[in-house]
A and B are shown apart, each in its own frame.
Chain A
Amino acid sequence: MASQVKPNFETTAWRFMRYSGILLIPLAWFHVYLQDVIVGVHAIDIDYVAVRLADAGWVTYNFLLLLFAFAHGMYGLRQVMFDLVHKPSTRRILSILMLIFWLVVSAIGATALAMGARPELVQ
């Protein structure tokens, strides 16, 4: 007998958390390796950032890092919220607020990445 369970929000959110966690491992560690080992923190300045953000590939890489890390963290924060808040209506309101917060901050981050760095404003 075949059972079909329709995916609900909890299932989708959990699956996204797991997949994003797996993707975060190479994304985050390569980021750390590149910036701290290959380039070195003392070599990173506004010109370096500007060059990187002029490249569509690095913008996409950074955007995925932001998207997955933040979503992964927000999922964990929502679980902590469920530990502390037990009233269903309050849980629902806070979940919606968290979703909005995630979307807004991700949008701001994506915009910043897309705009790139402008060294003339710093120097």
Chain B
Amino acid sequence: MLVYLKIYRYNPEAGRNVPSFDTYNIEAEPTDRVLDLLEEIKGHIDGTVSFRRSCAHGVCGSDAMRINGRNMLACKALVKDVGTEITIEPILGLPVLKDMIVDMEPFFNSYKSLMPFLINEDVPADGKERLQSPEQRERFDDTTKCILCAACTTSCPVFWSDDQYVGPATIVNAHRFIFDSRDQAANKRLEILADHGGAFRCRTAFNCTEACPREIHVTQAIAEVKNAITSGGVEH
């Protein structure tokens, strides 16, 4: 089938200072991914089209982009699902550097502010490992699936307008440690998220939940963090 692609272009280094769109018509199979179409264009039609991709199998999270107005991973979006007229744009809310490539530093700075690593000052009982029951592991299982693609954060209308909001991905990754029975810094993380740029900025628009390519219940995770703050903390 013939697919009509409309691709966002911006490259100040090459004189394309004003964002615009280039269009391409290419042959594709219904089971082709949008990433395949981009690779086809970059490899055979226009080598200047720029986008990030690494694993190309929905694991690394580097090819998040807006496809027909919705945040998706290009490697997981099939032509048969998005249609034969496809508009591709960079994710919103982060500075665009070139075409679909955005500056991810603000996103990762926010992520790092919530200490996304296990904090436990005690020596394990057996001196080797900290054991956890299946139920304790299940408590935060959903939020361990995050691949930091930023699809959720850049679909959030609060994040678009307020760069001081930490964003859904940061809260999801804080949730992963807050509810981990082995972690001892839930209190610190919850105090950061109780501040004015934290979890209470969420208006439950549910864009994040819809955008997540890993099907994480993002809004629910944020609600659980809010409940943990209002109830004075979590108990492990």
For the complex, give the distance between the alpha carbons of A79 and B203 in Å: 9
For the complex, give the distance between the alpha carbons of A7 and B226 in Å: 12
User: What is the interface size of chain A, counting residues whose CB is below 8 A from a CB of the partner?
Assistant: 19
B230 to chain A minimum Cβ distance, whole angstroms, is 5
Return chain B residues, CB-CB under 8 Å to A7.
194, 230, 232
A8 with B195, Cβ < 8 A, contacts A1-B184, A83-B158, A86-B162 known: yes
Return chain A residues, CB-CB under 8 Å to B34.
none
Is B30 located at the chain interface by the 8 A CB criterion? no
Q: Is the CB of A14 within 8 A of B158?
A: no
For the complex, give the distance between the alpha carbons of A14 and B64 in Å: 32
B35 to chain A minimum Cβ distance, whole angstroms, is 34
Return chain B residues, CB-CB under 8 Å to A5.
187, 190-191, 194, 228-229, 232-233
Interface residues on B, range: 20 to 34
Q: Is the CB of A82 within 8 A of B201?
A: yes
Interface centre among A3, A13, A83, A91 (most CB of B within 10 A): A3
Q: Is the CB of B235 within 8 A of A2?
A: yes
A111 to chain B minimum Cβ distance, whole angstroms, is 32
Q: Is the CB of A4 within 8 A of B161?
A: no
Q: Is the CB of A83 within 8 A of B194?
A: no
Is A84 located at the chain interface by the 8 A CB criterion? yes
For the complex, give the distance between the alpha carbons of A83 and B226 in Å: 20
Return chain B residues, CB-CB under 8 Å to A82.
162, 196, 201
B68 to chain A minimum Cβ distance, whole angstroms, is 26
B223 to chain A minimum Cβ distance, whole angstroms, is 11
Q: Mark A67-78, 1 if CB is under 8 A from B, else 0.
A: 000000000000
Return chain A residues, CB-CB under 8 Å to B184.
1
Q: Is the CB of A14 within 8 A of B230?
A: yes
Q: Is the CB of A11 within 8 A of B229?
A: yes
Q: Is the CB of A3 within 8 A of B187?
A: yes
For the complex, give the distance between the alpha carbons of A9 and B39 in Å: 50
User: Which residue of A3, A10, A11, A86 contacts B235 across the interface (Cβ within 8 Å)?
Assistant: A3
Q: Is the CB of B198 within 8 A of A4?
A: no
Q: Is the CB of B163 within 8 A of A11?
A: no
Is B4 located at the chain interface by the 8 A CB criterion? no
User: Which residue of A4, A10, A86 contacts B194 across the interface (Cβ within 8 Å)?
Assistant: A10
Return chain B residues, CB-CB under 8 Å to A14.
200, 226, 230
Return chain B residues, CB-CB under 8 Å to A84.
161
Interface centre among B184, B200, B201, B236 (most CB of A within 10 A): B200
Is A31 located at the chain interface by the 8 A CB criterion? no
Q: Mark B21-51, 1 if CB is under 8 A from A, else 0.
A: 0000000000000000000000000000000
Instruction: For the A-B complex with A4-B233, A14-B200 known, give 11 more contacts whose Cβ atoms are closer than 8 Å.
Output: A1-B236, A2-B235, A5-B191, A5-B228, A5-B233, A7-B230, A11-B194, A14-B226, A79-B203, A82-B201, A83-B158
Q: What are 5 contact pairs spanning A and B, CB under 8 A?
A: A3-B187, A4-B232, A5-B190, A10-B198, A86-B162
Chain B residues packing against A (C-beta within 8 Å): 158, 161-164, 184, 186-187, 190-191, 194-196, 198, 200-201, 203, 226, 228-230, 232-236
